[in-house]
Structure 1
Amino acid sequence: MLSLNNVHVYYGAIHALKGISFQVNQGEIVTLIGSNGAGKSTCLKTISGLLHPKQGSVQFKDKDLSNVNAPEIVAMGISHVPEGRRIFANMSVSENLDLGAYLRKDKQNIKDDMEKVYTLFPRLRERRKQLAGTLSGGEQQMLAMGRAVMSRPQLLILDEPSMGLAPLLVKQIFEIIKEINESGTTVLLVEQNARMALSIANRAYVLETGKIVLEGDAKELLESEEVKKAYLGG
């Protein structure tokens, strides 16, 4: 479904991604793990059109995204839940969700999808008239995910969904990611909590300073001594 081929990305003179290549197949959960500054968020921003590669290509269902802008990429079926949630704080929960469907014209289906989001995240239904900025961190994360789901993505990309959340909420968020995937959405996940990410993913890639240094079946990487030492605290 998605493939990055020898992608190089720069921030001015800083070489952030150094020839990255990886694939995401339809129906999978694929996770990118690595320490801070490894290039994980840069990778996601490049896929969603917020950054453009200087060299190499990003392909989604055989279309080259390398120079396509972000709104067009959303319309093609990729939705990005950014690090730090980025919800619209002065708008209500339901208005935030409506904005997720901004590019859609199918009013009845939008209504049905709103209902689906409220079923996935019952807390949002309770808070639907509340200003998004007054929600707790966990509720804001649910809203950011719900808003992304409202665009009916074929590929959902998530950047650090567990950041700053209590362990119980982290578990809940990861169960919902699995549920979204089981309902037919492919997921690419960037996550600091490597153990949690590897436990739900099919495959994983390990990034270090802008390069992929390890890849493989997520369960195998969970058992790998190298990964345990570097990312799982053991």
Structure 2
Amino acid sequence: MTGATGPMLTLNDIHVYYGNIAAVKGVTIDVNEGEIVTLIGSNGAGKSTTLRTISGLLKPRKGNVTFLGRRIDGINAHDIVGLGIAQSPEGRRIFPKMTVSENLDLGAFLRKDKAEIAADKERMLELFPRLRERIAQKAGTMSGGEQQMLAVARALMARPKLLLLDEPSMGLAPVLVDLIFDTIKRIREQGTTVLLVEQNALAALGIADRAYVLESGTLKLAGSAAELRQDDDIVKAYLGG
């Protein structure tokens, strides 16, 4: 599903530092339109740093990031949202004192199309029926799983072309993990490309088209998700096999 112009998103040899410490060292990644691509690796591998670089929260010291044929490294984070990239951050940073409804409205803050915003909000409540039951509740009083659903739904309210998901299954009960991953598949079916950072590698490889394995800030492996699931070394190292 890629256009003739190449991948939707390209990270080309990016190096990202915290102070003097290199967190990401020369990572190159492509995401094509219509794909679910996952970044897997242990804690501290550089997965979240990579996402934060795409969304403009961090600037690479070397290398570049291209989205839809345009360089976006060096652009402010809120302008990157305007270009069509939305991130649901690690740790479900929702607004706890606001209701579910208000949180969803905030996800659409850059948009002016009132009727379509209302239609998208309804679509989110169909995607996450649990949120409809909680629509007037303050977000901070909900369970972790419900807050995670809200964080994803809020990001989708920006109607992104590319959705960045940072550890969506973190701290969730297994039944909710399944629900979140089923929902990610549905999000892609509805036309949104997804880049997923996930420690639950097995679940991520179960829904992804392709995967990149990061280790200590460098790219160790890349391939189809199905192939990596069959790779004994990967299973031992990352999938708890």
Give the TM-score normalised by structure 2: 0.97
1:52 to 50, 55, 59: 59
Post-superposition Cα deviations, 1:64-118, rounded to whole Å, max 9, x if no partner, equal 0110011000000000000001000010000000000000000100000000000
> 2:219: which partner in 1?
212
1:12 to 7, 19, 27: 19
CA positional deviation for 1:225? 1.1
CA positional deviation for 1:233? 1.6
> Residue 79 of structure 1: SS of its match in structure 2?
strand
Q: Distance in 2 between matches of 1:233 and 1:5?
A: 30
> 2:196: which partner in 1?
189
Q: CA RMSD in A?
A: 0.4
Q: Distance in 1 between matches of 2:88 and 2:73?
A: 20
> 2:119: which partner in 1?
112
> 2:174: which partner in 1?
167
Q: Distance in 2 between matches of 1:19 and 1:212?
A: 8
1:224 to 213, 217, 231: 231
Post-superposition Cα deviations, 1:101-145, rounded to whole Å, max 9, x if no partner, equal 000000100000000000001111110100000000000000000
Q: Distance in 2 between matches of 1:93 and 1:232?
A: 34
CA positional deviation for 1:226? 1.3
> 2:79: which partner in 1?
72
The AA in structure 2 aligned to 1:196 is A
Q: Which runs of 4+ in 1 moved over 3 A?
A: none
Q: Distance in 2 between matches of 1:41 and 1:134?
A: 27
CA positional deviation for 1:232? 1.2
CA positional deviation for 1:31? 0.2
> 2:186: which partner in 1?
179
> In the alignment, does 2:130 pair up with 1:133?
no
> 1:143: which partner in 2?
150
1:153 to 139, 160, 163: 160
Aligned-pair identity in percent equals 65
> Residue 95 of structure 2: SS of its match in structure 1?
coil
> In the alignment, does 2:94 pair up with 1:87?
yes
2:210 to 203, 226, 229: 203
> 2:3: which partner in 1?
none
Q: Distance in 2 between matches of 1:179 and 1:136?
A: 22
Q: Distance in 2 between matches of 1:47 and 1:22?
A: 11
Could you tell me which runs of 5 or more consecutive residues in structure 1 were left unpaired when the two chains were aligned.
Answer: none
> In the alignment, does 2:62 pair up with 1:42?
no
The AA in structure 1 aligned to 2:220 is V
> Residue 151 of structure 1: SS of its match in structure 2?
coil
1:63 to 64, 70, 88: 70
Q: Distance in 1 between matches of 2:209 and 2:29?
A: 14
Q: Distance in 2 between matches of 1:121 and 1:8?
A: 37
Q: Distance in 1 between matches of 2:54 and 2:240?
A: 30
CA positional deviation for 1:29? 0.2
> Residue 135 of structure 2: SS of its match in structure 1?
coil
Post-superposition Cα deviations, 1:13-65, rounded to whole Å, max 9, x if no partner, equal 11111011010000000000000000000000000000000110000011101
Q: Distance in 1 between matches of 2:240 and 2:94?
A: 32
Q: Distance in 1 between matches of 2:15 and 2:76?
A: 18
Could you tell me which runs of 5 or more consecutive residues in structure 2 were left unpaired when the two chains were aligned.
Answer: 1-7
How many residues get paired?
Answer: 234
